[in-house]
Chains A and B, each alone.
Chain A
């Protein structure tokens, strides 16, 4: 099987890695780059636990080949905080109690971050739609919705 040399920017850092054809972005992140915040829930594009931002848009990283990411910019949950200051969505998730077991949390944060980037003031329906690809078994989603709304409010104040 062929290996490919790629340039990929992850959380602002340019990485040069050699990847086999069949390596997914999820595995590149978790195994080659030791960024284990992104989680493997199904490897089938269904649960959303592996959601990361690729060129600003959320993708299921288990459904993207690493080799396709040559020249791309990836943000994972580890890249949300800036200089130890948590992203508003992270702060809100803590304050509103949107975290229980935490396994879906990184994916939820990335989908929420992208939503707020596109739509700084989402309504309930828009939040539900944006998160429908992120399965959570613990929280019942309610506090996750509250977290997104709180983050939206907080961002409004600071911008």
Chain B
């Protein structure tokens, strides 16, 4: 519910300064590698598989263990528990075989980095190389080697459907209407295949974990983490210990984008630490190790077939997705599902047949990356939409306006669309980019073009992913808010403070967020993913603040002989509408208020608590993908770009971009716009520069030198970010998420603009200068 405390000065909706900005600009902000652990710190290194697929025949660590300064060596033999978020398909360290280049085989800890490194070289691992699976379509065939023979025995969430005996770890289906018999009714059909390469998150802070196991077996894990509570849960389960014996402390995160969600390398540090009781063990990935071994965004081979009638109304879609999930798909299986239930795009399509497969390959492990399958899927779909519009003779924007979701539309899952501002987003984005007007190119060797794309995305999470929060006050009336969500740059600590201040009735400046998140003291939060915190954690904070407010007003009402309904808290002062009496919060939040006649005190320390669970989500039929309420909500939006293509080099220059997203309510408009800007640039980077070049399962470009990301020189001259607000019914103040969405439509918006400029399309990004130039050469647009 929208929270309205009739506050005269509510920070919600204001552009308050970030609560963490000063710390960060002075160098005072602590990240995991900045924590001082003292002389007892040990340094971990991991011996990793050089093969994409092989059996482990023998591991000889004798010489390494004998090296002075080496304190522990562990292998898969030491840890038999499976681990995984939605599907427990891996071990801490490989036990019988390795499944990707970089798969951890041996872990060690030593008193110095140099000794750890020397020890690594002294470990011998014998492999029997096996034939690898390097393509998801091939991986789905019976001829392909079986990568997980035990697939049938893995514990799995009840909304994921692995197919034992194959490499398919999830198969999500949509069977809606009657696609087969609708094609004949279509006036135009577009059929396309796309190959979306693997890319990676590339946070500027590499992965890091420090683990310490004390004498009693209690584990403390420090790390750069989006999921302290999930890490506690999954690692404890895998070790067969109580969650109460595991504590995760998570300071600021230097960029996540999903790669620090779930459990990845943290389990390695914990595993090694169990062998050196009492000493912290630090594992910091080198940048190269980060490229080779951290989560990737899985590749996708996507087939689309879409058709419309003579008026341009979409009639049918048949989509098949082969997700290159990598060696372990414990996280990736849900991307397969999410893309399945979103496979129509933000459109009304009465007949849809979708098969979304997650396939094991001997490629790096696919995890969650900003957009969670949506960028990869929209990359192809939104180009098909453009092509279909062209075929039927309609303007691409008009086509979308005709077919896009509106409030109440029936969705691909049979659910109903909640209130949405998508039509407004389309209209505003098109207007702001000057749709329909062709700009003259800036030079004779340039061609200009405009393109637009839509998106939708729901938080992809279990139906019971919860948030909680507490609110307490200090003697001076300042407020301390406990949260379990992480500040990964998105600004959540700031909006948390804004929401707490508004819900309680105190000035923004008097609110502090209790950091760092520490599972021993912080309240539970499922994960910092899915663009869910503002909405979910926000509701929990609002509930906690309202609980604190109720305690305060109950105490004051009793003391004044009034009713709580006659009271309010404004700017940290309790006031009565009735009697006009006032009392500052600081006068009562710790010690309470005295009773008359020296007969004791009432009230006492105020501690507000609140939680929030997703408002009901129903399951989806495993055969049809239909259900009453597939997800909690969708954020929708549109992006439009204007660009120029250089005919001499093929280089694509983005001149202007416009983003318009319906965020329900912008708790902090500037922070929302900052997400739109950052997301666009990351999307642009994936459209123009990025790909993990895999050859025989080995990444060929594992450094900044050859994995190019957008630099300051690549930023468009003009970026416009438009906030549309159609309130989310169950969002705090009407808010829903924005963090991921601004990266989703970028690839197709750019692809559509390139087509507008020079008339070429590609089967997948990145649209490098080379790719564009050679395409223009091959189609005769330029001469060699």
Contact = CB atoms under 8 A, between A and B. Distances in A.
Report if A and B associate in a common complex: yes
Interface of A: 30, 34-44, 46-47, 49, 76-78, 80-81, 86, 90, 93-95, 97, 99-106, 109, 124, 127-129, 131-132, 134-145
Given A94-B18, A103-B255, A128 B489 contact: no
Most buried by A among B202, B204, B678: B204
A44 B287 contact: yes
A60 to B, nearest CB: 12
Contacts of B248: none
A103 B252 CA distance: 9
A127 B712 CA distance: 9
Contacts of A30: 34
A49 B204 contact: yes
Given A39-B254, A137-B203, A137-B255, A99 B21 contact: yes
Given A36-B27, A78-B27, A100 B674 contact: yes
B713 A129 contact: yes
A111 to B, nearest CB: 10
B678 A139 contact: yes
A140 B31 contact: no
Interface stretch (B239-247, B404-412, B703-711): B703-711
B29 interface: yes
B678 A100 contact: yes
A37 B26 contact: yes
Contacts of A97: 18, 670-671, 674
Given A47-B704, A128-B715, A137-B709, A93 B255 contact: no
19 contacts: A41-B204, A43-B286, A46-B287, A77-B27, A81-B26, A86-B25, A93-B25, A101-B203, A101-B489, A102-B29, A127-B712, A128-B715, A129-B712, A135-B204, A137-B255, A137-B709, A138-B489, A140-B710, A141-B710
A39 B703 CA distance: 17
B719 to A, nearest CB: 6
Contact of B33 (A40, A44, A81, A132): A40
A34 B36 contact: yes
Given A37-B26, A44-B704, A90-B26, A141 B715 contact: yes
Given A43-B286, A102-B254, A76 B27 contact: yes
Interchain residue pairs A-B with the least CB separation, the first 6:
A37-B27, A103-B254, A101-B489, A102-B24, A140-B681, A100-B489
Contacts of B18: 94, 97, 99
Contact of A142 (B17, B206, B713, B715): B715
Given A43-B286, A100-B489, A101-B204, A140 B705 contact: no
B17 A94 contact: yes
A103 B26 contact: no
Nearest to A37: B27
Interface in B23-47: 23-31, 33-34, 36
A140 B202 CA distance: 14
Nearest to A124: B717
Interface in B251-268: 252-257
User: Dominant SS at the B interface?
Assistant: loop
Contacts of A102: 20, 23-25, 29, 252, 254, 489
Most buried by B among A76, A128, A131, A142: A142
A42 B287 contact: yes
Contacts of A103: 31, 203-205, 254-255
A144 B712 CA distance: 9
Given A95-B17, A137-B204, A101 B287 contact: no
Contact of B205 (A38, A41, A77, A127): A41
Contacts of A78: 26-28
B228 interface: no
A151 B679 CA distance: 25
Interface in B98-132: none
B703 A46 contact: yes
Nearest to B24: A102
Given A77-B26, A140-B719, A104 B21 contact: no
A92 to B, nearest CB: 9
B491 interface: yes
B365 interface: no
Given A44-B287, A47-B704, A101-B255, 15 more contacts: A37-B26, A40-B33, A42-B703, A81-B26, A86-B25, A94-B17, A95-B17, A97-B674, A101-B253, A102-B23, A131-B712, A132-B713, A135-B204, A142-B715, A142-B719
Interface in B180-223: 201-206
Contacts of A136: 204, 712
Contacts of B26: 37, 77-78, 80-81, 86, 90
Most buried by B among A41, A76, A94, A132: A41
A49 B206 CA distance: 11
A109 B489 contact: no
B677 interface: yes
Nearest to A147: B25
A46 B256 CA distance: 19
B47 to A, nearest CB: 20
B254 A42 contact: no
Contact of B25 (A46, A94, A140): A94
A77 B203 CA distance: 20
Contacts of A140: 677-682, 710, 715, 719
A35 B23 CA distance: 14
A124 B680 CA distance: 20
Most buried by B among A38, A42, A100, A129: A100
Contacts of B286: 43
A84 to B, nearest CB: 10
A110 to B, nearest CB: 10
Nearest to B23: A102
Contacts of B21: 93-94, 99
B520 interface: no
A127 B717 CA distance: 13
B488 interface: yes
Contacts of A76: 27
Contacts of A43: 286-287
Contacts of A81: 26
B528 to A, nearest CB: 12
B25 A100 contact: no
